[in-house]
Structure 1
Amino acid sequence: MALIIGFLLVAALGIAHQFGLRGVRALKPNPNEAPQRAIAIAFLGLLALHMLEIVAFAAIYRGLLHWGALGSIGTGQEMDWGQLVYFSGMNFATLGYTQIETSGPIRLVSMMQSLGGFMVLTWSATFLYTVSERAWRE
């Protein structure tokens, strides 16, 4: 069950990320006309997009922990919002290397978030590289 939940969350992440990239693309100016601004807006847009994705996963972890059927994160005590955002962000950005232990099936959701984070971070890096390459073209 946890693996299916994780898979569905990563699928939703990918779909949402695609629309987020479209939004960033629409906000940034033409790299040929305003190269430095295009890079800065792309970077800041991606930063905001990734923060939204991290916060969304933190909210999902809160719901899953409240449900209680998938195990626990940390000491088993209720985690505050800051701890959930930290846990989600570390999973998202470092392939699951956190100082907070998970137990039970929720580990599979955490593992899937790490996979999804790796996928969308590399996707975003490619996007930013493309914007930069166009802006720096001589």
Structure 2
Amino acid sequence: MALLLGLILLGLLGIGHHYGLLGIRALKPSSDNRPQLAVIVVFLGLVCLHIIEIVMFAAVYRAILAWGTLGTLGADFGNSWLDLIYFSGINFVTLGYTQIETEGPLKLINMLQSLGGFMVLTWSATFLYANCEKAWKE
């Protein structure tokens, strides 16, 4: 059950990230006319996109913990939104190295969030690099 849920969340993350990148691309000014502004818009857009993704996973963790059948978070978890966002963010950006231990099948969802975070962060880095290359061409 946890593996299936994790895979569904991973798929939704990829789909959402794809459309988020399309939105950022639509919002950014032309790299030919305003190259510095284009890079800044892309960078800030990616920051916002990743924060949204982290908060959405925090909401999923909140629902899973309320349900109670897929596991718990260890003793260092304070059960607040701040703790959930921290937990989700650390999993997203550092492949799960956090002080908060995951117990039960929830570990699989945690692992898949880390995989998804790694994948979309590298995707975003490539997107930013491509926009920088276009904006900074001499």
Quick check: TM above 0.5?
yes
Aligned-residue CA RMSD (Å): 1.1
Q: Partner amino acid for 2:117?
A: G
For residues 65-93 of structure 1, the C-alpha deviation after alignment (integer angstroms, 9 at most, x for no partner) is 00000110122876110000000000000
Residue type of the partner of 2:73? I
TM-score (norm 1): 0.97
How many pairs does the alignment contain? Answer: 138
Structure 2 counterpart SS, 1:99: coil
Counterpart of 1:118 in structure 2 is 118
Contact 2:76 2:99 in 1 (8 A): no
Between the aligned residues of both structures, percent identity stands at: 59
Unaligned runs of 5+ in 2: none
**1:46 to partner: Cα distance:** 0.3
Q: TM-score, normalised by structure 2?
A: 0.97
Q: Which residue of 1 aligns with 2:9?
A: 9
Equivalents in 2 of 1:92, 1:75: separation in Å?
A: 21
Q: Distance in 2 between matches of 1:21 and 1:111?
A: 24
Task: Give the Å deviation of 1:122.
Answer: 0.3
Deviations 1:32-90 (A, max 9, x none): 11010000000000000000000000000000000000110122876110000000000
Counterpart amino acid of residue 98 in structure 1: T
Query: How far apart are the structure 1 equivalents of 2:51 and 2:44?
Result: 11
Partner of 1:66, secondary structure, is: helix
Runs of 4+ residues deviating >4 angstroms:
none
